[in-house]
Structure 1
Amino acid sequence: MVNLMLEIKGDLENLTNLQPQGGCDDPNFSYYFKVKCGNCGELSQKETCVTLSETVQLPKSKGSANLVQKCKFCGRDGNIVMIPGRGKPLTLEDSESGKYVPLMMFDCRGFEPVGFSFRDGWAAESTSGTKFGDIDLSEGEYVEYDEKGQYPVGISNVQERFVVVK
Structure 2
Amino acid sequence: MYALTLTAELNGVTNLRPKDTADSPFWYTFTVQCTSCRETHGNPISVSRFESNELSGSRGEANFVWKCKNCKRESSCSIKTTPKAYEQNEPPKQQPIIEFDCRGMEFTSFSPEGEWLVDGLESNTKFEGIDSLTEGEWYDYDEKAGDEVSIKDLKWDIKRA
* Superposition TM-score, scaled by structure 2 size: 0.92
Per-residue deviation, residues 57-82 of structure 1 (Å, max 9, x unmatched): 00000010011111122211111111
1:4 maps to: 2
Consecutive unaligned residues of structure 2, counting only runs of 5 or more, are none
Residue 157 of structure 1 deviates from its aligned partner by 1.2
| Cα separation, 2, equivalents of 1:140 and 1:151 | 21
**Matched AA of 2:18:** P
Consecutive unaligned residues of structure 1, counting only runs of 5 or more, are none
**Matched AA of 2:98:** M
2:108 maps to: 114
Percent identity over the alignment?
35
Residue 107 of structure 1 deviates from its aligned partner by 0.6
| Cα separation, 1, equivalents of 2:151 and 2:92 | 13
CA contact (8 A) 2:26 2:114 kept: no
Residue 98 of structure 1 deviates from its aligned partner by 2.5
Correspondence list, 1:1-166, <5 A: 3-22=1-20, 26-27=21-22, 28-85=25-82, 87-93=83-89, 96-127=90-121, 128-136=123-131, 137-165=133-161
Residue 21 of structure 1 deviates from its aligned partner by 2.2
Residue 88 of structure 1 deviates from its aligned partner by 2.3
Per-residue deviation, residues 27-46 of structure 1 (Å, max 9, x unmatched): 51110001110001111121
Per-residue deviation, residues 71-99 of structure 1 (Å, max 9, x unmatched): 122211111111024x4211112xx2331
**Matched AA of 1:133:** E
CA contact (8 A) 2:10 2:152 kept: yes
Residue 13 of structure 1 deviates from its aligned partner by 1.1
| Cα separation, 1, equivalents of 2:138 and 2:126 | 14
CA contact (8 A) 1:118 1:140 kept: no
* Superposition TM-score, scaled by structure 1 size: 0.89
Per-residue deviation, residues 105-150 of structure 1 (Å, max 9, x unmatched): 1111101112110123110011221110111112111111111111
Residue 20 of structure 1 deviates from its aligned partner by 1.2
Residue 104 of structure 1 deviates from its aligned partner by 1.1
Moved over 3 A (4+): none
**Please, what is the CA RMSD of the aligned residues?**
1.3
Residue 156 of structure 1 deviates from its aligned partner by 1.2
| Cα separation, 1, equivalents of 2:57 and 2:107 | 23
